[in-house]
Structure 1
Amino acid sequence: MAARGPSTKWLRNRMNSTFEASNVHSSIVEDKLFGHEEEEEEEEDVDDGLVVFICGKCKLPVGDTMSWDGSEDGENQIRLKRVTDNVVIGKETRMHEVCKRSLCLILDLFCRSCHSLLGMVYASTPKKLDHKRFTFCLNVADIESYVLGSATQKLAAEGPKEQPVTLEYRGAVEEQLTEMKMLVMSMALKLEEIEAGLQEQRD
């Protein structure tokens, strides 16, 4: 069984520290991945929720925090050990300079449905960047996310509201039952009289 990913609260804190040095403001990244900041009580309710990452354009799922491997300072990326079949690995390698004197060979990652660029896989790296190899690096700007269990909207109960049983309600029901009982008895007496009259005519 795969190891569980980090909690959403940890991810929020990590994203803040990861992207403060980036040209993208950390609050934008936080809103992009996790939505606006909720109150502490609501935050605790979904603190351990599984985060599903989806394509920012067509909304197909591309991965989740069960495969979390980390995030990259200044790269505006998250790393996953596994992704879904909705992610396609490009066939052509190209040069990519992570920083000065750190040239790498990478393969681009695309969405299978809309063909949007989602990130990259490092095919060859300098030794100091070996931790990036064999992982899927997704661009934060090209993905969105959903926290499982965060849904709150409910349908209102349909149908008439049940009337509470009160003494007045019970009395009214008993009165109706008594009237129905008297009506049935009256009809039974009339039926007996009719049958008796028919019997006399036959005799």
Structure 2
Amino acid sequence: MATSELSFLKQRCKNVNNTFEVSCSVDSTLVEKTLLGHADKNEDNEPVVFICGKCKLPLGDSTSWDGSEDGQNQIKLKRVTDNVLINKESHLHEANKRALCLISDLTCRGCHSVLGMVYTSTPKKLDHKRFTFWFNVADIDSYVIGSADQTLSAGGPKEQPVTLDYRGIVEDQITEMKMLVISMAERLEEIEAGLQDGCDKV
């Protein structure tokens, strides 16, 4: 590579979109514990669905989990749903001080939020980063299948127990309604009688 090309790439790297610069303050094991409940997968773990942090569309699940790397606030999945779009345009990304890569953004089909990236071109030593979907933990959320625990009783929503006091209140209300209906019926009879008298006089 010519010196001019190398200096051009270095200059371009300084202007790279910083969306995917990761924080070293989050340990990968902590990420796995947060999203999957345990750092090591086993058969007893319930499946996890990964969703967009903004619009909550499903992006993938733990059956395609490919782990994460130390010092990166990202997770890797081997497969994703159709709700994840891969941008056609690639741009430079500095994976570390001596490794320039080409990446394409991953965006949500629903809200168009940037969720992560895929590596489209890497130096040989970083080839392991390709062919997987990298998601920023800050931009996604997760739901553990089977974690719902709210239920309704057999009788449906909460019902007021029938006590003697409650029964007395209901009976009083029914009596008042009956009296109102009788009063309305008597008033209606008076009106009909008045109309009948008017017709007889005519």
TM-score, normalised relative to structure 2: 0.58
Q: Is the 8 A contact 1:32 1:141 kept in 2?
A: no
User: Which of 116, 122, 126 in structure 2 is aligned with 1:119?
Assistant: 116
User: Which of 152, 157, 161 in structure 1 is aligned with 2:154?
Assistant: 157
Residue 33 (structure 1) aligned with residue 35 (structure 2) = yes
Q: Pairwise mapping of residues 58-77 of structure 1 onto structure 2 (< 5 A)?
A: 58-77=55-74
Residue 22 (structure 1) aligned with residue 24 (structure 2) = yes
Q: Pairwise mapping of residues 101-120 of structure 1 onto structure 2 (< 5 A)?
A: 101-120=98-117
- In structure 1, runs of 5+ residues without a counterpart are 1-20, 38-45, 161-203
Q: CA RMSD in A?
A: 2.7
Matched letter for residue 139 of structure 1: N
Aligned partner of residue 141 in structure 1, secondary structure: helix
Matched letter for residue 23 of structure 1: S
Cα 1:152–1:65 shift into 2, 3 Å: same
**1:129 deviation in Å?**
1.3
Identity fraction in percent: 69
Matches of 2:66 and 2:110, distance apart in 1: 25
Residue 130 (structure 1) aligned with residue 135 (structure 2) = no
TM-score, normalised relative to structure 1: 0.58
Matches of 2:87 and 2:111, distance apart in 1: 14
Q: Is the 8 A contact 1:52 1:64 kept in 2?
A: yes
Matches of 1:96 and 1:73, distance apart in 2: 18
Matches of 1:48 and 1:137, distance apart in 2: 22
Matches of 2:124 and 2:106, distance apart in 1: 23
Cα 1:135–1:34 shift into 2, 3 Å: closer
